[in-house]
C-alpha cells in the first residue's frame, strides 16, 4: 500500500467508493488493531474533514477510547449510555441528526451537533464502535451508514 491516500472531488458516495478499497489495502498485511484503527481514523478525517472520528473498544464490559482524530474525548462509556453505548447495547447503527435531542447523549465536545455510531461486530458480539461527530446539524445520512457499515465489516476481521 502506498503511503498516499487518493482523495477525489465528487459526491459523498463517490468519495466513500474511492476510499473503502484503499482502507482495505491499508490494513492488509498488518494485524495490529491499534495501528490499523489509527490509520483508518486518519484516512476518514483526511477524506471528509470530520470534526471527530474514532473508535471505542469493548474492554471488560465497557467502551474504552481507542484511536481517534479530533479533540480530546471521554475515555469510558458504559453499555446503554450515550449514543455509543446505545449502539453497542442495541447492536445497530444510530444516526443522531441533533445530539441535543438524543436522551442521554454524552457531550465530549459542546461543538458537536450531529453524530453517527456504527458497531463493529464479530461472531455476534460488538467489539468496537466507529463514532463520527459533526459541528453541523443533520450531517449524516444513510450513505454514511451504508459505507461505514461496510467498513465495520472489513474491520471485524481485526478482532
Ligand atoms: N457523543 C458520544 C460520546 C463520544 S464523543 O462524541 C467522542 C456518545 O453520546 O456516546
Q: Is residue 4 part of a domain?
A: no
Residue closest via CA to ligand 1's atom 1 equals 106
What atom of ligand 1 comes closest to residue 52's alpha carbon? 7
Contact 84/57 with Cβ under 8 angstroms? no
Contact 135/109 with Cβ under 8 angstroms? no
With a 6 Å cutoff on the Cβ, whether 112 touches ligand 1 is yes
In tens, the pLDDT along 41-63 reads 999 999 999 999 999 999 999 99
Question: How many C-beta atoms surround the C-beta of residue 151 within 10 A?
Answer: 21
Rounded to whole angstroms, the Cα distance separating 53 from 55 reads 7
- The CATH number of residue 151's host domain is 3.30.450.40
**Domain residue limits at 51:** 12-156
Q: What is the DSSP letter of 79?
A: T
Q: Is residue 7 part of a domain?
A: no
Q: For the chain, what is the mean pLDDT?
A: 96
Q: Is residue 3 part of a domain?
A: no
From the CA of 1, how far away is ligand 1's center (Å)?
32
107-64-27-145 Cα dihedral, nearest 10 degrees? -40
Q: Is residue 126 part of a domain?
A: yes
Number of domains the chain contains:
1
Q: Is residue 1 part of a domain?
A: no
pTM exceeding the 0.95 threshold for the entire prediction: yes
Amino acid at each position: 500500500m502506498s503511503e498516499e491516500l487518493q482523495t477525489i472531488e465528487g459526491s459523498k458516495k463517490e468519495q466513500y467508493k474511492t476510499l473503502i478499497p484503499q482502507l482495505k489495502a491499508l490494513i492488509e498485511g498488518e494485524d495490529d488493531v491499534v495501528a490499523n484503527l489509527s490509520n483508518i481514523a486518519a484516512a476518514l478525517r483526511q477524506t471528509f474533514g470530520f470534526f471527530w472520528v474514532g473508535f471505542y473498544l469493548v474492554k471488560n464490559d465497557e467502551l474504552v477510547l481507542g484511536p481517534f482524530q479530533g479533540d480530546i474525548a471521554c475515555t469510558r462509556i458504559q453499555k446503554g449510555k450515550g449514543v455509543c453505548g446505545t449502539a453497542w447495547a442495541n447492536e445497530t447503527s444510530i444516526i443522531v441528526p441533533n445530539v441535543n435531542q438524543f436522551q442521554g447523549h454524552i457531550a465530549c465536545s459542546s461543538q458537536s451537533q450531529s453524530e453517527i455510531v456504527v458497531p463493529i461486530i464479530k461472531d455476534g458480539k460488538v467489539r468496537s464502535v466507529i463514532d463520527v461527530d459533526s459541528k453541523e446539524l443533520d450531517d449524516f445520512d444513510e450513505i454514511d451508514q451504508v459505507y461505514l457499515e461496510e467498513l465495520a465489516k472489513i474491520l471485524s476481521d481485526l478482532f
